[in-house]
Amino acid sequence: MTELMQRILPTVQKPARYTGGEWGEIKKDLKDVRVRVAFCFPDTYEIGMSNLGMRILYGVMNGMDGVWCERVFAPWGDMEQAMRDNSLPLWALESQTPVREFDMIAFTIGYEMAYSNILNMLNLAGVPLRSKDRQGLKNIVFAGGVCAFNPEPLADFIDFFSLGEGEDITVEILQLYDRAKAEGWSKDAFLHEAAKIPGVYVPSFYRHEYNADGTLAAIVPLEGVPQTVTKRIIEDLDNAYFPTKMIVPSTEIVHDRANLEVFRGCIRGCRFCQAGFSCRPVRKKSPEVLYRQAVETLRASGNNEITISSLSTSDYRGLKELTDKLIPYCTENKVSLSVPSLRADNFSRDLMERLQAGGRKSSLTFAPEAGTQRLRDVINKNLTEDEILTTCANAFSGGWNNVKLYFMLGLPTETDEDVLGIAELVYKVILTWKEHAVNKKRGLRVHVATAYFVPKPHTPFQFVPMDTEEMLREKQKHLVECARARSRKIKVNYHDSKTSFLEGVFAKGDRRLAPVILEAYKRGCYFDGWEECFKYDTWLQTFADLGID
């Protein structure tokens, strides 16, 4: 660590975000390294280190001969200011090497509101923002993650996108780059060869043609690249790489625990859910492999908590067999085992009792999504009111007194009656508690959280109009009033509709949004997913000034 760094770190929040040196990080001798990758997460350390996908690909890349992958996270405002004041470029944690010295710069993107952070990280690194301004093989910028399923808003900035699951395709990309670097290829030659890898999309090799009304008429492939780019999937999860030797963060992170991925995909077909469609088909791990990975991870990390996770964990058919093995191990070693992502139609009170034996019962979380059966049918939620209330009755009679319920506002065909239905359903949950609770002295806590429907690419609802901000605000006001009228016990939390509106714009927009993102960034817009940093008026003014509706 340099003297300048030693002087700066005590002046910023959470200096451990920027130092590296954690237990489990991977360091390599540079004389054995041919390809260096700066693996960037466009948000803070605490969020990025909680991302399982990043941990998996970090291990995959570092498992390759001649490749060294290092982590880079977005610095918070105080650190960024100190870096700019002292002309300190963005660096990677493992070696403190400036990002601009790396061969490849990879981003994983899971949220549209992180787009401007990508530009800020490149700027802090001293790397040109536009792909066309980066010449040669140095600083090839590529990206993956769920947002890559509509990569167009970032087409001007990213050299190529990796679509789908990254364990195999990332290896193929780096092997090709290793060859290109050794043989002295041009950037154009490398991108042409990369475009031949299934799952790689090079935006500059596709021309967009528009109709007179401004709608997209055609996407024309140039120079022999594929007409259609198909996502990559890992078919055999039992034999796929999983990071049991994980990095142990030196400061608290959002999900500060071990994470066990039981399967990918989802057997449900909720029409609004991008992950449910982009992660298809369903592929599961065997309970035997999961138990081994859990034990190895806990022993290597020293974590005292492990979470069994997936898009819908209670749908995993091997869950009982897995927990029958894990619960005794966790009990003996004083490890907390949690199973989130529960479904109200297959909730197992027996499992939850065994998970929390002897301890205070935590909150149960369910996502009815809509307040009426009609609207749940529209979104294909496949969940009835009877199933919700029966599940709550089972939980309350088993000693649970805290319930979290998640809903969406602005769903297609939603009416005022559907919004009222949310308050009515929550009130019925309260009445169910009064009838079935075995421990009424502790009282009931019902936490209601609402998000706004955002149409996402590749879902059945991708072309459904999104409610205007005014409509969403009216629905939120209506819900709060209805909930207050039913019971003072109901407290409703909700997101900012302005953020959801822009999320929808970026989720569905094309490459004509790139100039807007660049100009808004120049005007100070980044960390847009953080309420205290979000500059909505600046975004709107940028759209107006650039003539983009």
Report which DSSP code applies to 318. Answer: T
HEC states along 273-313? CHHHHHCCCCEECCHHHHHHHHHHHHHHHCCCEEEEECCCH
Please give the pLDDT value at position 381: 93
Q: List, for residues 164-214, the tens digit of each pLDDT value.
A: 999 999 999 999 999 999 999 999 999 999 999 999 999 999 999 999 999
The pLDDT assigned to 292 comes to: 97
Burial class (CB in 10 A: 0-12, 13-18, 19+), 218: exposed
Say whether 156 sits in a helix, a strand or coil: coil
Confidence of residue 362 (pLDDT cuts 50, 70, 90): low
Percent of the chain topping pLDDT 70: 98
Q: Taking 70 as the threshold, does the pLDDT of residue 480 lie above it?
A: yes
Task: State both tokens at 193.
Answer: 């060869």
Q: pLDDT band at residue 341, thresholds of 50, 70 and 90? A: low
Please list the residues that pair with 407 across neighbouring strands: 369, 450
Other beta carbons within 10 Å of 318: 16
Token pair of 258, please? 């071990």
State the Cα–Cα distance between residues 393 and 399, nearest whole angstrom: 10
The predicted pLDDT at position 358 comes to 47
pLDDT tens digits, one per residue of 230-258: 999 999 999 999 999 989 998 999 988 99
Q: What average pLDDT does the segment 386-398 reach?
A: 90
Which pLDDT band holds residue 489 (cuts at 50, 70, 90)? confident
Look at residue 426 and tell me whether its pLDDT is greater than 90: yes
Mind listing the pLDDT tens digit for each residue in 80-127?
999 999 999 999 999 999 999 999 999 999 999 999 999 999 999 999
Mean pLDDT of 456-476: 93
523 burial level (CB within 10 Å; 0-12, 13-18, 19+): middle
Amino acid at 337: L
Mean of per-residue pLDDT scores for the chain:
93
Q: How confident is the model at residue 357 (pLDDT cuts 50, 70, 90)?
A: low
- pLDDT tens digits, one per residue of 455-464: 999 999 999 9
Question: 280-308 pLDDT, tens per residue?
Answer: 999 999 999 999 999 999 999 999 999 99
pLDDT of residue 345: 75
Over residues 428-444, the mean pLDDT reads 89
Give φ, ψ of 207 to 5 degrees: -100, 135
Q: Is 187 exposed, middle or buried (0-12, 13-18, 19+ CB in 10 A)?
A: middle
